[in-house]
Amino acid sequence: MDPVEFKLLVWVVTGLATVAIYRLVVWVQTAPVTPDPWGDLVETETAGEVSPTLCWRCLEPVDEGRDFCAHCGLSVGPCTNLSPYLYLFALGDGLRTGTSGQFVVKPLTVAGFLLLSACQYFIFAPIFWVFLARNISRIHQDASQLPPVRE
């Protein structure tokens, strides 16, 4: 392919990409606005200052100013991931979920566990991977023992 044809091809591809992006932006801007699925009561309840913070794992109310859930021990503070000390607890809880908890087994999730453990543990990561593989096989075994879902 000579340089003139290559430049022409680049211009055509650039033009098509520009038109496609423009059409995508127009399509998103002109899309109909869907109604709010929540009623006004939910809006007023969550906007008030009396609505408690909930632990995302066990859904128990967490007192203001606490960094850990009193029921399950999960680090739930508003600045947990910004504090170096508390960040270790959040990271450890996530990795512990990979070895002993229930999670959705998908390729991206497993790749995240593998990459995070390799970055955090380095030498000890293969030990983590063994426990991760055992937990994944346990999750698959538990899922195969469930009765089929009827619709």
Bridge partners (DSSP) of residue 53 are: 62
Domain boundaries, the chain: 44-78, 94-146
From CA 100, how far away is CA 135, in angstroms rounded? Answer: 6
* Burial bucket for residue 148 (CB in 10 Å: 0-12, 13-18, 19+): exposed
Strand partners, 62: 53
Distance CA 136, CA 103 (A): 9
Which runs of E-coded beta strand occur in 59-106?
61-62
- Per-residue model confidence as pLDDT tens digits over 55-97: 888 888 888 888 888 888 888 877 877 888 888 888 888 888 8
Q: What is the pLDDT of residues 7-58, one digit of tens each?
A: 899 999 999 999 999 999 999 999 888 777 777 777 777 776 666 788 888 8
* C-beta separation of 90 from 80 below 8 A: yes
**Which residues are paired to 75 by β-bridges?**
68
Q: Which of 35-44, 108-117, 136-145 has the lowest mean pLDDT?
A: 35-44
- DSSP alpha helices (H): ranges in 30-53? 40-47
User: pTM score > 0.85 for this model?
Assistant: no
